Structures are given as structure tokens and as C-alpha cells.
A and B are shown apart, each in its own frame.
Chain A
Amino acid sequence: MTCFSFRVLPAGLLVVSGMLLVACGNSDEVQAQKALAKSLSSFVMPATSAPVPALSRAELAQFNTPMIVAEVPEKALRFYMAPVAENGAVVTWSTSNDITFSFRSDVLAATRGLAVDVIESSTPSARALLSGQSGQRSAGYLGATDQISKVSYDCSVTVVGPMMITVLEKQHLTTKVQESCVADGGKIVNEYWIEADGKVRKSKEFLSDDLGYAVIERIFDR
């Protein structure tokens, strides 16, 4: 049996006012009320979930899986992700709590499980970026309207030059590439640190207006 209480006020106050409401059961209505109560209580008492802590390379090595870490500075989020599926050139990586990032030829192409997702996109390949090739990209975002809003970007790519970077205690020789894209909605600037073989070691890529950018580091390769 599942029960929950409508904690729209601190519990103590509710008991005093005789308004501690409880709903129980296994029907759809109860699940719905539970969602509503949760949403009301987060409105009144915002949840303060602790961010995922940063782990050391040795700690992560224990998971014995390829791994990336994505950080979203604007929302203080950190995701550790392992690969879960491959579809042609697209590899999907997932957190343990069902957030996925999909990369096409090492460039972020889709997300799932975020408030605003990139559902579909066209993207340059890491090799094209490394060669400084300018071009177009597009993204279809899914947000509050349940409709795909498509944005087409005109991008110019600048190869900044070689750069030694450190990704979680380990040094990598990369070439830094900047991709500057404009659309009706504004401008985004993605950055990539790409190794000689076309492998993107680190990137800062635009997610959505909602979340801003993600900084993604490839820690253990596939």
C-alpha cells in the first residue's frame, strides 16, 4: 500500500490546523495526486538536493566502464554517464537516473530526460570541426509547448590552436576549436578540444536556453 501526505505547509502547522491530508491507494488518481502534492510542496518548500559530488579518477575507475562527465554550470548540475546504446554514428550515454546525452561523431546531438531536450539535430562531425569547416547546424527543442521548435544556425568554425588540457588528473594534447553559430534567436558559441585522431576530449556545448551550456569531459573511452 502506498500513502503520502499533502505537505503543502510544514507538517507541524498542518497537524495543528487539523489539515494533515493523506491519500492512499494504487489507482491512477492517487499517483496523480502524489505528483500534484510533490509539485505543491516543492513550490512552497523548494527541494534542496545536494549536487552529485566530483569523484577522482581512481574512484571512477572502480565502475570499470567507459565514462564521461557533463557539468551544467548554470544549474550546478553534474552528470556521470556510461554508454548504453549505439545507432549508426550516434552513441547514447546515460546517467543512473535516466538522463541521456547522445553524440553523433563525438558532437552532442540529442538529450533526453531534461526539462528542455534537444530531440533531433544536424551537427558537424568532430573531423569537420578540426578542419575548420564552417557550415550549418540545426536543432529541434522540446519544451513547454510539447511541440518541436526548430532552430537553424549558421556557424563559423575557428581553429584556435594546439592546447594541452587536463581531464580529471590526466593530460591530453588537443586542438582547440571554436564554433560560433547565429540564429534568429541569438548566438551560441561551442568549444571543442579535439585530439589528433578526431576524438573530442572535452567540449563546451549548448544545450538549451533553459540550461545554457554543458561542459563535457571524456574520462574513460569506449
Chain B
Amino acid sequence: MPSAESQPDGALTFSTTHFGPVSRTTLSFQITPRLSGSFRYVGIRDWNLNIGCRPACVGTDAFETYYDRSFDLRFRVLDEGRYLPAVTIGLQDLAGTGLFAGEFVVATKNVAPNLKVTAGLGWGRLGTEGSIGAPFGQRPAVNIGRGGDFNPNQWFRGPAAPFGGVEWAVNDNWTVKAEYSSDAYIEEVGRRATFDRQSPFNFGVEYQNGPGMRLGAYVMHGSEVGLAAHFLFNPKERSTRGLNDGAPDPVIVRPSRTADPEAFDRGWVAQSGAAEILIGNLNRRLQDDGIEVDGIAYDGATAQVRVTNRRYDSEAQMAGRVARAMANVLPASIEKFEIVPVYNGMPSSRFIVQRGDLEGLEFAPGATAGMLSRIIVADAVGSVPGTLTIAEDRYPRFRWSLAPFLKTSLFDPDQPLRADLALRLAGSVEAAPGLVFSGSLTKTLVGNISDSRRLSNSVLPRVRTDGILYDQQGDFGIETLTGAWYFRPGKNLYGRVTAGYLESMFAGVSSEILWKPVDSPLALGVEINHVKQRDYDRGFGLRDYSVTTGHLSAYYTFGEGYLAQVDVGRYLAGDVGATLTLTREFENGWRVGAFATKTDVSAADFGEGSFDKGINLTIPLTWGTGTPSTQSFPMVLRPIQRDGGARLSVNGRLYESVRGVHADGLEDQWGRFWR
């Protein structure tokens, strides 16, 4: 039974509930304080047990356990007031097969400090028990077919039925619930008889110890026992609370100019070897912080230090550490510090800090806000004080790793969760600034992904649905082997050319230009790739299929962490269309987003799901461990992977690399500048 209450803004909840033959696993996200979205995976066991079709069941009856994926949206239209309840409107399974579709309007009111009452009206699935008629007309039949399309002509149509419930919080830990459900489970208890539904009433008791986890046990429909577990994550706050990171070097304050005029002499600028000595001294200060000096440039009053940040997820903290190292190392005559983060050899932005502000604000009551108002973010292109000296031992730089990783395959109806434990050997050489050669080999150690028997039935070029063949025939192979050149063609511009084995399934050339001023919410990009499909064994061989694919992209940040991205272009299967991605990004780097791609491929040719869509989730490592790290775990959750609307996967795409070190990214975790 739905409730009108919302989760805290930004909360991500993972629920798994089970009763009788029905299992539901749901991932929900509170997109805004009022709007939430859910992705649900439902499994119904004994689907064809009692319909007498075995062993020759066909169509949807072929499944012993029927699995379905669905999306929900809920919007709270009214906040709870002194007399008024909270009211929420919801759409369940709004783009699905229709079997789980239902709409509702629901109100919830706290009538006493620990007593909550909920009442609502449901349509569709939620209008199947105790209907009061069809106030908005008949519900048109839905063609289950491939599923995946929106069915707005169904919404709030057909029989409506009331539902309701009460919830009593016995104390902080225990809650008792009773509800009247308007879902008759027609398909499940009708001819399929997957369970015996004796009553619309459900009763339950729930236990929670803090906001992170809630466990429940229920008596469902008078005949079944149910169990549930709900987990709540708050992306806004690090799970470890604090940061596991040593103190910075304190600012060393210069003597006053009158007390020691000689200290301010600029003669040192002409001294040969000064740059190397300063680079060495800065590196000694920054070594423990995982920051490496790429180069230094200075005149008598300004010094620019270019750094590669290998550690801090927070650019603000990186800038704070480098600024303090500069205050410790640089001669007193330097009044202006310029910090230039370098990403893949590209100098990106330039953070300009007045040395006097650093000295004066270090412990001041408004130190954090004060520094934010004084720091200047500019483009790194076109401004170097004096001449740039690149650190002698910076290039070439070789890095390698041998580490295990986990690969998962979700929603195969034969086995909804498959996983492989695999080993990756990766290496990279930064030969010169911006020139990076890298490669990786992977080997599956143990797992069942390649056991899948679901071979492609796609009528499009099989640019993604043949993935299983790569898993089966290429369990040891080349993942990537590329040469990449990153460069700055001009102010506000970033460029990349990558050639080689770009991803597991494609090899070729990928090129990209991005326009992104440091303080602009808008960025524009062009990407053009020419690729050929790789052999299934993931060796050096190529198959016949080749395609030129590319996109024009626009990126816009609306503030408050909401981002939109539109990509228009040609996809891997040669189809033409557009992708819209909406993302909410939290200041610590957590991201939750959804995307949908519509191309000129018809729903029939696309196959199950009708068009490509899914959810993105990125969890920064620092959030989980508290130890600063630039690493994060990105995940893409697609109800199904088909060939339409598929994009090339290439490392080092520019927008994400560049944005973090721009004004936006710097402000996000600004609180860590002085940390």
C-alpha cells in the first residue's frame, strides 16, 4: 500500500520484500524533496505451475518464475499541515508491460505523535479489490508486447478502489502496522493460483535501529508470511562521518617587509636551478598528499604550480594543500599563488590565491567563506608567469596494477543475478604531457556470466547483444589497448584523440572537442568515432561490422546539483537519435541519474523494452571509506541491453574530467579547503 510520505531529500533506499511466491526488490531515489522515482524488479514464482501447460508452455507462460522490471514516479502535491494531510500522486510501472501498472492518490496524516493514518484511491492494479466504479472512464486494454513504452491513456482510468491503513510507533524501534489492500492480485491468484489470497487485510511489525535499516515481518492476505528489509543511504553525508586524513602543513607566515626587506628581494628569480629546487621542495611537502608537481613558472611576484592530483576527491582540499605547500616553500616576494590542476597532461583551470589572504585567514572566524570569496578561478590557457619548467622526473611515468574486480549481469530471466570474479592487469605510460598509452588485460577467475544461454535475437547490427559471445569466447583477452592524446586547442577548449582497442567490443579512433568556460553552466561537445567490431575472443582480430558514430552534446548545470545532458547523433548500430540524461549530483560526488535514448529504430526492431533507458549511479570511494581518493564506482542499471541507442564506451571523455576542476567543482566541497 502506498503512503503519502516522502523520504528525506536525496535519500536512496533499497528494499527487498518477500511473501508467498512474490519477491520485490526496489531501488528508490528521492529526486527532489517532492519527487521520487523507483526501479523495481519483481519475481513471481510458480508462474506456470497450476495452468496445466507444462512441459510445453509458450509465451509469457514459458517462465517458471516470471520476472518484470518497472519504473515508478511519485509526487507529493501537498505537505502535511496542522489539519491537512500530506497528499501524494503516484504512477506505478509507468512504462512497463502493464501487468504491474497502477496509479494512486494517497493522503497520510500523523493524527497523534506516534499514530499515522493513510487513505487513498487506486487505479489499475490498485483498483482491483472493492472497486467503487470508474470515475474517469474505462481503462483501455494494453498490448503487453515488448513493454517499455509509456501508456498515458491508461493512467487513472478504469475501476478505482479505496485503500488505507494505520501505523503505530510503539517506541523508537518498533512499529505495528495494519492495512487494507486494494490490490486483488488477479493474475497471481486467479488462474495461475500462485498463492491463496483470503483477505485484503495485511498486518505487520517493523523494527529499526536508526534510520539506516528497517526490518519487517508481516501476515499477508490472511494466508502468507512476509519478510522485508529496507536500507536507507544518505548520499549527502559520508557513511564514515569524518575524513581519515592527516592535518595539512600550517601556513608559514612571512616576516613583515619592514622587518626583513631582504627576504622580499626578487633576485632569486634569475638564479639558475631555482625552479628545480622549488619543485623538489614542493614535492616533499605534497608527497604524503598524493599530489605531484608537474611544473612551475614564476616571475618575482607570481608563481604558478601545475599539479597532478592523485588523491583528493575534493578539488578544494587539493587547492588548500598546494597553497599551503607554496606558502611553506616559495620565497617571500611571491605574492600571488596560481594552482593549475593537470588532468591527463592538460592544464585545466587556474586557482588564484593571494598569499596574504592565506596568511590572514588561516584561523579567522570567516576563513572558509572569506577564502571562497577571494579565490579566483580562471582558465589555465594563455597565462604563464615567466617560463614554465616541467619537473625533470615527471615524464615518462609508468603506472600499473593487477587487481581483482567484480562483473555482474542482471535481469536474465533464467538467472536474474550473475557475477564473475575477474582479474585485471592494467598499465599506462604518460610519455609526455597529454600523451598517454594504456592497456588492460582481463581474465575471468570464477563466475557464471558465460553460462547464459540467451543468445541475441536482435535484427539490428549486434553491437551490444552479442556481449555474451565475448564473455564466452574471450574470458581472457584485451580489454583496452590505446594511445590517447589530450590537448588544449585554445581557451575554454579541450581536445582528445584516442586510437586502438577502445573497449571490449570495438576498436578504432575516437575524437572529441569540448567547449567549457571555467565558470559557465553550459558546455558543448562534439565527438566523432570510427570503429570496427572486435572479434569475440578479444584478441587483436576485427569483424566485418564498422560504423562511424558520433554526437553533438550539450551539458547544463542548473545549480543545486541538477544536471542535464543531451546527446544528438548516430549510435553504434547506425541508428540516429538523441539521449537525454538527467542527473542529481551531490557535493561529495555521489550521482544518481536516469537516461533515455530514442532513435529512428522502431520499437519492434528494438525488441524488448522498446527503447534504451536506465539508471546511473556513482558512489565515490571517499564516501564509503573516509579516506580521500579520486576513485569512484560508477554503475549503469538497464532493464535490458539491446542494440538500439547504444554508445561507444571510451575512456577519458572530456566533460567529466574537466568539470570537477572548474568553479562548480571547486565550490562543491569547499569546506575542505582549510582541511
Interface residues of A (CB under 8 A from B): 6, 21-33, 35-36, 38-39, 84-88, 90, 92, 94, 97-100, 102, 104, 109-110, 112-117, 119-122, 138, 140, 142-148, 210
Contact = CB atoms under 8 A, between A and B. Distances in A.
Interface stretch (B93-101, B141-149, B359-367, B651-659): B359-367
B247 A94 contact: yes
Task: Tell me the dominant secondary structure on chain B's binding face.
Answer: loop
Nearest to B310: A28
Interface in B313-364: 314, 359, 362-364
Given A29-B403, A142-B671, A110 B428 contact: no
Contact of B237 (A22, A90, A145, A210): A145
Contacts of B133: none
B621 interface: yes
Nearest to B253: A87
Contact of B401 (A25, A38, A116, A210): A25
Contact of A102 (B244, B363, B630): B363
A120 B366 CA distance: 7
B674 A120 contact: yes
Interface string B62-86: 0000000000000000000000000
23 contacts: A6-B404, A23-B401, A23-B403, A27-B399, A29-B401, A29-B631, A30-B403, A35-B629, A39-B625, A39-B626, A85-B251, A86-B253, A97-B246, A112-B248, A115-B241, A115-B242, A116-B242, A140-B365, A140-B368, A143-B242, A145-B671, A146-B587, A146-B671
B290 A31 contact: yes
Interface in B210-250: 236-238, 240-250
Interface of B: 236-238, 240-253, 290, 310-311, 314, 359, 362-369, 399-404, 426, 428, 587-588, 621, 624-627, 629-631, 668-672, 674-675
Given A31-B310, A115-B242, A146-B587, A26 B363 contact: no
Find the residue from A113, A117, A146 having the highest chain B CB count within 10 A.
Answer: A146
Given A120-B364, A210-B242, A99 B247 contact: yes
B393 to A, nearest CB: 14
Contacts of B670: 147
Contact of A26 (B244, B250, B399): B399
A86 to B, nearest CB: 7
A113 B247 contact: yes
B399 A39 contact: no
Given A87-B250, A144-B237, A210-B241, A119 B367 contact: yes
Contacts of A99: 246-247
Nearest to A113: B247
B672 A142 contact: yes
B621 A36 contact: yes
Contacts of A143: 241-242
Contact of B247 (A21, A33, A112): A112
Nearest to A116: B242
B403 A120 contact: no
Nearest to A92: B250
Contact of A138 (B314, B365, B368, B626): B365
B479 to A, nearest CB: 13
Contact of A87 (B238, B251, B630): B251
A122 B250 CA distance: 18
B302 to A, nearest CB: 23
Considering the complex of A and B, which 6 residue pairs feature the smallest CB-CB distances, nearest first? A115-B242, A98-B246, A25-B401, A112-B247, A85-B250, A32-B631
A207 to B, nearest CB: 12
A222 B310 CA distance: 38
Contacts of B310: 28, 31
Given A30-B403, A113-B247, 4 more contacts: A116-B242, A122-B365, A146-B668, A148-B369
A3 to B, nearest CB: 8
A148 B587 CA distance: 13
Contacts of B290: 31
Contacts of B247: 94, 98-100, 112-113
Contacts of A116: 241-242
A211 to B, nearest CB: 9
B242 to A, nearest CB: 2
A145 to B, nearest CB: 5
Contacts of B588: 145-146
A87 B359 contact: yes
Given A36-B621, A87-B253, A142-B672, A27 B242 contact: no
Nearest to B371: A120
Contacts of A31: 290, 310-311, 629
A29 B368 contact: no
Contacts of B243: 115, 142
Contacts of A92: 250
B363 A121 contact: yes
A32 B365 contact: no
Contact of A39 (B364, B403, B428, B627): B627
B66 to A, nearest CB: 34
B675 A119 contact: yes
Contacts of B363: 87, 90, 102, 104, 109-110, 120-121
Given A122-B365, A146-B587, A84 B250 contact: yes
B367 to A, nearest CB: 4
A146 B242 contact: no
B403 A24 contact: yes
Contacts of A146: 238, 314, 587-588, 668-669, 671-672
Given A98-B246, A119-B675, A122-B365, A144 B238 contact: yes
A116 B246 CA distance: 12
B631 A25 contact: no
Find the residue from B251, B290, B671 having the highest chain A CB count within 10 A.
Answer: B671
A109 to B, nearest CB: 6
Contacts of A109: 363
Contact of A114 (B242, B669, B674): B242
Contacts of A110: 363
Given A39-B624, A116-B242, A23 B236 contact: no
B365 A26 contact: no
A120 B400 contact: no
A1 to B, nearest CB: 9
Contacts of A28: 310-311, 399, 629-631
Nearest to B361: A120
Contacts of B238: 144-146
A123 B347 CA distance: 41
Contact of B252 (A85, A100, A112, A142): A85
B625 A36 contact: yes
Find the residue from A32, A36, A97, A142 having the highest chain B CB count within 10 A.
Answer: A32
Nearest to A208: B242
A22 B421 CA distance: 13
Contacts of A30: 401, 403
A174 to B, nearest CB: 25
